[in-house]
C-alpha cells in the first residue's frame, strides 16, 4: 500500500486514516493504535526535519512494515530528551514499540521505517 502525503500539517491525520483503513482491509485491527502512533511520529519527523513527507508505504509480509519517505538528507537518531523537554521522544517510543526500525538514504532523500510483529492467531506459527 502506498499513499502520497501532503507537505503540510494535514499529512499526519491523512496517514493515520490510511493506516486505519488499510489495517482493517488486512484484518489487523489489533495493530491500529500502535501503528497510528508510529506513523504520526514518522510523519511528524518528516515535516520537522525532512522538508515534508513524500509518501507513506505499508507492507505486510512476515511483519508489518511502515515507511515514510522525505527529501531531507539527514538520517534520524534517537534523542535523549530531558523530563522537561516537550519533544525528542518519538524515536524512543518507536524503538520501544516496534521489533526494529531504521533509515536509509535514497536518491531523493531518505526513508525511515519501522517493523512490528503480526499478531499470532490460533493455528498459525509465531514470528521467526
DSSP string, 96-117: HHSSEEEEEEETTEEEEEEEEE
Nearest CA-CA partner of 95 in 79, 119, 73: 79
Domain boundaries, the chain: 2-117
Can you tell me the distance from the alpha carbon of 39 to that of 17, in angstroms, rounded to the nearest whole number? 10
Q: What is the pLDDT of residues 44-75, one digit of tens each?
A: 999 988 888 799 999 999 999 999 999 999 99
pLDDT in tens, the chain (128 residues): 999 999 998 999 999 999 999 999 999 999 999 999 999 999 999 998 888 879 999 999 999 999 999 999 999 887 766 655 555 567 888 999 999 999 999 999 999 999 999 998 766 666 66
CATH T-level topology, domain 2-117: Heat Shock Protein 90 (3.30.565)
Amino acid at each position: 500500500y502506498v499513499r502520497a502525503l501532503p507537505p503540510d500539517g494535514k499529512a499526519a491525520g491523512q496517514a493515520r486514516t490510511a493506516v486505519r483503513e488499510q489495517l482493517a482491509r488486512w484484518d489487523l485491527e489489533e495493530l491500529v493504535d500502535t501503528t497510528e502512533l508510529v506513523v504520526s511520529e514518522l510523519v511528524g519527523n518528516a515535516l520537522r526535519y525532512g522538508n515534508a513527507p513524500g509518501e507513506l508505504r505499508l507492507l505486510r509480509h512476515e511483519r508489518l512494515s511502515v515507511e515514510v519517505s522525505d527529501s531531507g538528507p539527514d538520517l534520524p537518531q534517537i534523542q535523549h530528551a530531558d523530563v522537561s523537554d516537550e519533544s525528542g521522544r518519538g524515536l524512543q517510543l518507536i524503538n520501544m514499540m516496534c521489533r526494529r526500525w531504521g533509515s536509509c538514504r535514497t536518491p531523493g532523500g531518505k526513508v525511515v521505517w519501522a517493523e512490528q510483529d503480526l499478531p499470532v492467531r490460533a493455528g498459525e506459527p509465531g514470528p521467526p
